[in-house]
Structure 1
Amino acid sequence: MSLFSKIFNSFKSIRLNTNKVLSGQPLNDVLISSMYAEQQSAYLNSYETGLGKSDIVKLLEQYWEVFSKEEAIKVLEDLHDRNHDKNLNIVYEAFDDQENYVQILKSNLPSEQDSFNYYLNIYRSLKDVVPELIEQQVITSFSEIKKVKDSGWNYGRGAFLARCCYEMGYLTEKELKDYLEKSYQELKQYCSTWKEYTISYIFGRAIWGGSHNSGMIQIANDLLTNEKSPLKNKTYL
């Protein structure tokens, strides 16, 4: 995709493949990549992204350090594993009981200093992110975050990266389908609706990427309300 085409497409919300269109469960599996796909002006409804090879190479190599099948699998597995970090539950518990947060964190988190500081910094990020998301009307209370966590952010990025890796030849079509199906099924353990998926993605972006998430909020709104969006008439995962 040329630079002009990418700039042009960035003003076109919802980009669909009209040739190789998915439906049913395969479409649902692909749609967990929709937030990241919209960021990249990619197709929402196919395994193919619609991006030029140079754009895919730049994304994988410069941002994810993926140069081979082995590195692709490592990154994709890591994005799945992040959703099983039980120490994050402790951080969320501490945030929910801020009067006792020191005791909760010190009593339950790893004592090794670097590891402890890693989770302490997440706690501190929550103190900035949660009020901001409430003010932006992404959520109404922290309880919504405790349920969905940053699962959409992890599974969503993994799903889109898997599509890119497929186009680079790092994954076979079967490996791509298996990864997307597994991602979808695991995401359902955290998110019941597509709106919750978008909330989770925005939350993850805010925690790990910082503030200035108005663009992500707009993407979520477009996905959920635009008449062209495959998510428009879907409520539950």
Structure 2
Amino acid sequence: MKIVRFVRTICRVFSGPRCDSHSKLTDEQLRVLTIGNLYVYQQGGWLNSLYLHIDTSRFNNIMHEWWGIYSQADAISTLQYLLQGTFSITFEDVCNAYALHDSAKAASYLREHIQDEELHERAAHQLENLNKCYNDLVRDGIVQDEASLRKLGVMGWDAGRLNFIARACYCAGYIEEAELWQLLQRAYDMAHSELHSWKELANSYMLGRTLWGGNCDMAGLAEDLLTKPKSPWTRLPW
């Protein structure tokens, strides 16, 4: 599975950012729209359009298998979940537990500070992945040390996922355009509440993805979005 993900990532890096040459969105609209572009780019979607234009079979796999969205009710429930800032809720406790550098003490800390069973399970999983991947995060320049990790946070990941799924739900016909823009604005506000540049957004997204999946393998995609002329990030102010 990791090999498949790696191959797909490499293919997207070689194909480069995809944009709609006929997009009529203004720069102000694009600044809001493109908060989720790391997720969009990874899936081969258009970076500058309300429509993702992802291959149908892949789009259905994302909606059904990854997110469990088969209906409008599923879409609304998922969007309400993402609006909570799902990883940011537990991030401080995960950082505090990691800082103990002792697995037993860290586990005890999480049990003491997170009473909700679902949140505790989520935090424990994130801590496990952070323990496994911290050196990789430093190697890839996503963080420099524990202080910078804590300062960076995972709001970019939370905002990016909300942005992408809102666009996907719009493409599937589950929400109207006005609702989409409201959700995109919420994601934009989430990102701008803690982050100060496209680079920080990319790093925060990659940190969150690493805590979620136990690997990142997105540094090349982030570099593309930050440097390639086709990417809206290279010409839009943060």
TM-score, length-normalised on structure 2?
0.84
Secondary structure of residue in 2 paired with 1:33 = helix
Tell me, yes or no, if structure 1 residue 182 matches structure 2 residue 159: no
In the other structure, the counterpart of 1:15 is 18
Q: Answer yes or no: is the 8 Å Cα contact 1:194–1:234 preserved in 2.
A: no
The gaps in structure 2 that reach 5 residues or longer are: 1-7
Matched, 1:170 2:181: no
Structure 1 portions without partners, runs of 5+ = 1-5
2:42 counterpart of 1:39: yes
Q: State the Cα deviation string for residues 170-193 of structure 1 (Å, max 9, x = none).
A: 010001011001110112122121
Structure 1 partner of 2:197: 193
Aligned to 1:144: 148
Instruction: Judge conservation of contact 2:64–2:70 (CA < 8 Å) in 1.
Output: yes
Q: In structure 1, how many angstroms separate the alpha carbons of the residues matched to 2:194 and 2:108?
A: 27
Residues 61 and 67 in structure 1, CA contact (< 8 A), matched pair in contact too: yes
Counterpart in the other structure of 2:225: 223
Distance 2:31 2:69 in 1: 26
Equivalents in 2 of 1:115, 1:41: separation in Å? 31
- Number of residue pairs matched by the alignment: 227
Higher RCO structure, 1 or 2 (CA under 8 Å, sep 6+): 2
Distance 1:45 1:178 in 2: 17
TM-score, normalisation: structure 1: 0.84
1:1-237 equivalences in 2 (<5 Å): 10=12, 11-83=14-86, 86-98=89-101, 101=106, 104-110=109-115, 116-211=120-215, 213-214=216-217, 216-234=218-236, 236=238
Mapped contact 1:162–1:179 kept (Cα < 8 A): yes
Deviation for aligned residue 1:104: 4.0
Percent of residue pairs bearing the same amino acid type: 26
Q: Distance in 2 between matches of 1:173 and 1:53?
A: 21
Over 3 Å counting, the alpha-carbon distance change for 1:120 and 1:66 in structure 2 is closer
